[in-house]
């Protein structure tokens, strides 16, 4: 996308004039952030849940005059977050969705010729590098929730690091919801870090380990008891974190047996239809219990939540070098993830978070979640990198480079499948495999993949 000088002047004249909600913590640092973006090619904004960084950063960039000669590209890790963020930013700029603010996710493109801000999944931006190698349609990129360290995010951070040298006018803003921002700063040659306080209200954390002499007492009973305890605290909705869809359905069944009919119980996970997801954001009366996967952990704010019940679990993809398969296992979340979950209930008033595990167990957990590149089959990573033209996995500027043994194993598996030749270049078989969605590659049993998420049942992370 290239605008003519006349179009640029017109865009400048018609650009929305942002207003900033003074109650959001990031707005108190707005001038400092704007100055940093003006003076540096890369800026890292680190803030807790509730700081407003997801919705306000594209507006700060717009106020600086970015988004005129190219779009402000703003990535989200999940489709539901991209759509919700675009809706919110459009509302705050008093424009219709698809006008000044558009979004693009798989199967949906609502970006128009008059758009200044384009919100999309990180996978969409990564795919766009194939037709627009230097991402010329953008003058600013915001990579949100970088602390999640998915493969897409790590690919983008490495790709854009290489791109910045060729495009000195391009601005990059990276956001992280944890204090691990120094790692990103180091990766981008000492880029400045601005920390924004996020939590608006205090959150009381209670520990209720799932322990009972009754053999029939399980996690779902513990969730129900926690929800009843929180109902006695006062008004406000409850957000329950569970590892997957099946666990959400089982918990919903238990809750419906124990709670009054006027309590609305809603699921929230990535595969829900857009209509079902929208129910979460609509005004409602009475009490609501939202059962969510870690899709609600960051970037997506569920309105009205005052209480959180955290099972401390998530479904995590992990590659076994011994069995050569990738599995989705239920594991304990890291301390950083647990803190993110607790922070979800400090948005509208003081909140309470009940963790269904012991405080000693929380203190013994890892500080951060392992980056996906370090727990994935490198065969998948290599195949994807070659298909995207990202160069070799050995030379790519990953924040956490994979081990050489893992790289060797990845190439060996691809050679066994006939996906690469003796020079480790993609064969026709490899090109066809690369075109398959990752889930389809998993179901086919190729590339060291195990069963899909609901096909295996694992324990509660050793508890």
Q: For residues 374, 376, 380 and 386, what is the CA-based torsion angle, rounded to 10 degrees?
A: -10
pTM of the model: 0.88
H-type helices in 344-402, by residue range?
A: 359-364, 378-388
Other CB atoms closer than 10 Å to residue 202's CB: what's the count? 10
Quick: pLDDT tens for 279-298: 888 888 889 999 999 888 87
Its CATH architecture, for the domain 203-364, is 3-Layer(aba) Sandwich (3.40)
The structural domains of the chain, with segments of one domain joined by +, span 5-196, 203-364, 377-453
Sign of the CA dihedral 46, 49, 51, 54?
positive
Task: Give the number of residues written for the chain.
Answer: 463
Topology match between the domains 5-196 and 203-364: yes
Q: Do residues 138 and 73 touch, judged by C-beta distance below 8 A?
A: yes
Phi-psi region of 447 (alpha: psi -120 to 50; beta: other; left: phi over 0): left
Pick the CATH number of 5-196 from 3.30.43.10, 3.40.640.10, 3.40.50.300, 3.10.20.740: 3.40.50.300
Which H or E run includes 311? none
Dist CA 151 CA 372 (whole Å): 6
Helix, strand, coil percent content, the chain, rounded in steps of 5: 40, 20, 40
Walk along the chain (463 residues) and give the pLDDT tens digit of each residue.
678 899 999 999 999 999 999 988 899 999 999 999 999 999 999 987 778 899 999 999 999 999 999 999 999 999 989 999 999 999 999 999 999 999 999 889 999 999 999 999 999 999 999 889 999 999 999 999 999 999 999 999 999 999 999 999 999 999 987 767 889 999 999 999 999 976 668 899 999 998 765 566 789 999 999 999 999 998 899 999 999 999 999 999 999 988 777 889 999 988 888 788 888 888 888 899 999 998 888 767 788 899 999 999 999 989 887 787 888 899 999 998 999 899 888 877 899 999 999 999 999 999 888 999 999 889 989 998 998 889 899 999 999 999 898 899 899 999 999 999 999 999 999 999 988 766 555 544 556 544 333 333 334 444 4
For 346, how many CA atoms within 13 A lie in the half-sphere containing its CB?
20
Q: Do residues 329 and 315 touch, judged by C-beta distance below 8 A?
A: yes
Quick: pLDDT tens for 87-143: 999 999 999 999 999 999 988 999 999 999 999 999 999 999 988 999 999 999 999
Dist CA 80 CA 89 (whole Å): 14
């Amino acid at each position: 996308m290239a605008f003519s000088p006349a179009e640029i002047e017109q865009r400048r004249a018609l650009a929305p004039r942002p207003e900033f909600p003074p109650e959001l913590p990031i707005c108190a640092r707005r001038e400092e952030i704007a100055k940093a973006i003006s003076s540096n090619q890369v800026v890292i904004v680190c803030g807790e849940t509730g700081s407003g960084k997801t919705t306000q950063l594209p507006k700060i960039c717009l106020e600086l005059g970015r988004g005129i000669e190219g779009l402000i590209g703003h990535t989200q890790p999940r489709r539901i977050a991209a759509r919700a963020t675009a809706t919110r930013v459009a509302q705050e700029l008093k424009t219709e969705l698809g006008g000044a603010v558009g979004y693009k996710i798989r199967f949906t493109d609502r970006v128009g010729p008059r758009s200044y801000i384009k919100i999309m999944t990180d996978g969409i931006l990564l795919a766009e590098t194939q037709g627009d190698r230097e991402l010329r349609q953008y003058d600013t990129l915001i990579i949100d929730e970088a602390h999640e360290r998915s493969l897409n995010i790590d690919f983008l951070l490495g790709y854009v690091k290489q791109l910045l040298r060729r495009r000195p006018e391009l601005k990059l803003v990276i956001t992280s919801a944890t204090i691990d921002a120094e790692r990103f700063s180091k990766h981008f040659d000492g880029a400045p870090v601005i920390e924004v306080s996020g939590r608006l209200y205090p959150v009381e954390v209670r520990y209720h380990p799932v322990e009972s002499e009754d053999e029939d007492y399980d996690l779902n009973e513990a969730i129900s008891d926690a929800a009843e305890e929180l109902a006695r605290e006062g008004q406000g909705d409850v957000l329950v974190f569970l590892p997957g869809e099946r666990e959400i359905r089982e918990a919903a069944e238990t809750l419906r047996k124990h709670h009054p009919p006027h309590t609305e119980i809603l699921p929230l996970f990535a595969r829900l239809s857009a209509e079902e997801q929208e129910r979460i954001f609509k005004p409602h009366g009475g009490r609501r219990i939202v059962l969510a996967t870690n899709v609600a952990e960051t970037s997506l704010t569920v309105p009205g939540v005052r209480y959180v019940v955290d099972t401390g679990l998530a479904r995590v993809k992990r590659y076994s070098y011994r069995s050569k398969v990738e599995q989705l296992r239920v594991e304990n979340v890291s301390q950083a993830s647990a803190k993110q979950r607790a922070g979800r209930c400090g948005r509208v008033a003081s909140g309470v978070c009940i963790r269904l595990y012991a405080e000693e167990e929380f203190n013994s957990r890892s500080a951060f979640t392992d980056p996906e590149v370090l727990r994935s089959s490198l065969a998948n990573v290599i195949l994807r990198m070659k298909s995207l033209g990202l160069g070799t996995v050995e030379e790519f500027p990953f924040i956490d480079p994979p081990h050489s043994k893992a790289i060797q194993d990845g190439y060996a598996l691809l050679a066994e499948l006939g996906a690469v030749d003796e020079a480790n270049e993609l064969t026709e078989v490899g090109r066809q495999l690369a075109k398959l969605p990752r889930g389809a590659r998993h179901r086919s049993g190729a590339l060291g993949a195990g069963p899909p998420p609901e096909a295996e049942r694992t324990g509660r992370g050793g508890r």
